[in-house]
Amino acid sequence: MGSPHLASVSVDLDSLHHYCRIHGLPESLLDERVRGLVYGAAVPRFLALFREVGVTATFFAIGEDQALPGAGEGLRAAHAAGVEVASHSFAHDYALSRRAPAEQAADVQGSLDALEAAVGVRPVGFRAPGYALSPGLYQVLCDAGLAYDSSTFPAAPYYAAKAAVMGGLALLGRPSRSVLDRPRVLAAPTLPYRPDPAEPYARGGGQVLELPVAVSPGLRVPFIGTLAVAAPWPVVRHVYGALRGSNHLNFELHAVDLLGSEDALPGPLLRQQRDLSIRWVEKRERLHQLFTWMRRDFDVVTLRDAAAQLAPTL
Ligand SMILES: [Zn+2]
């Protein structure tokens, strides 16, 4: 007997200095308060929302961010609340998939060490910076003994670009860049699969399962936090409806999806990242609704548990 209707909520905890790097803004723009907002404000907001709706989740945390003030406390509170802590690399290097194997291994191991030091449990899951996977990076994940990867983001470029404009979200500009590098991702499976180690965007017999980020069937509209908090609500409802029959709905968010105008972010960052100008309480209301639907329609589990349940069927 399988589990045909699993859903997972995951949040990439990219701190705001990574957004400065993406947008080419000086990190000096961020004072101490702003540097601490992801772990000090967004993380507790997500934890409160998960508790309120009664869902569990996975946080993808960046190794080097653990040196930020408040990061350790934030991650330990998440772990204590039953949230899975997985790796989003050590340095959030967008070129990680193209680096030499030794550099890739050092980054991945460094992130696992940093996160294990923070919460006392070694992560079993990984999401690559910019969602870009390569045979070399996939091999590193296998060598590290991970259970799953959740980097494949097989969105149609048109919708990725549209979402980027909608949210002003450069993180979505990156996948389209990686798409230009490796067009193979466009043909990648949209539901959990076992990758071919020689081409992780294709099916094969690899030991590390791939759990692709949700895109709608057919049109491959990305179903991610940016869409949920910034798109017209009927669009969100429609895309969710198209995904209701999935055997695994992998809903990916970013910590900034619960930051907003109340957080008084620096102007230059707001101009580049327009979704940060929406009030976070409004975003929270939308996510509350979505999580409630997911809880009604699916068995909501961490990505670690989804991988464990799906592994024998793939
Ligand atoms: Zn990221």
CA 225 / ligand 1 centre spacing (Å): 13
Q: What are phi and psi of 266, to 5 degrees?
A: -60, 140
Distance 129 CA to ligand 1 centre (A): 5
Query: How does pLDDT run across 173-210, given as a tens digit for each residue?
Result: 444 343 444 677 778 899 999 999 999 999 999 999 99
CA of 192 to the centre of ligand 1 (A): 21
CA angle (261, 233, 129) in 5-degree steps: 60
C-alpha pair distances (Å), 147 with each of 73, 126, 127, 253, 278: 26, 9, 12, 21, 36
Spell out a b/e string for 188-226, using b for 16 or more CB atoms within 10 Å of the CB, else e.
bebbbbbbebebbbeeeebebbbbbbbbbeeebbbbbbb
Q: From ligand 1's centre to the CA of 171, what distance in Å? A: 7
Residues, beta carbon < 5 Å, ion ligand 1: 12, 14
DSSP letter string over 175-192? Answer: HHHHHHH-GGGGGS-SS-
Residue 275: what pLDDT? 86
305 by Cβ neighbours in 10 Å (0-12 / 13-18 / 19+) ranks as middle
User: Is the CB of residue 304 less than 8 Å from the CB of residue 86?
Assistant: yes
Q: What is the pLDDT of residue 5?
A: 92
Question: For the packed helices 43-53 and 280-297, what is the interaxial angle rounded to 10 degrees?
Answer: 40
For residue 99, how far is its CA from the centre of ligand 1 (angstroms)?
17
Q: Which two tokens stand for residue 277?
A: 């100008």
CA of 130 to the centre of ligand 1 (A): 6
pLDDT for position 125: 98
Measured in angstroms, how far is the CA atom of residue 22 from the centroid of ligand 1? 10
- The pLDDT of 12-22, averaged and rounded, is 90
Ligand 1 centre and the CA of 254: distance in Å?
8
Q: Cα(274) to centroid of ligand 1, in Å?
A: 17
Cα(119) to centroid of ligand 1, in Å?
A: 20
Ligand 1 centroid–CA 38 distance in Å is 13
Letter for the amino acid at 47? Answer: L
Average pLDDT over residues 262-288: 92
pLDDT 10s digits, 131-181? 889 999 999 999 999 999 999 988 876 566 655 555 544 444 444 343 444
* Alpha carbon of 168 to ligand 1 centroid (Å): 15
Read off φ and ψ for residue 65, nearest 5 degrees.
-70, -15
Ligand 1 mean position, distance from CA 12 (Å): 6
Say how many Å lie between the CA of residue 1 and the centre of ligand 1: 35
Burial category of 16 from C-beta neighbours within 10 Å (exposed 0-12, middle 13-18, buried 19 and up): buried
How confident is the model over 3-16, as pLDDT tens digits?
469 999 999 999 99
Q: pLDDT confidence of 84, banded at 50, 70, 90?
A: very high
Q: How far is residue 154's CA from residue 215's CA, in Å, rounded to a whole number?
A: 7
70 sits in the region (left: phi over 0; alpha: psi -120 to 50; else beta) called: left
**Residues in CB range of 286: below 8 A, 6 or more apart:** 228, 229, 233, 236
Rounded to whole angstroms, the Cα distance separating 136 from 138 reads: 5
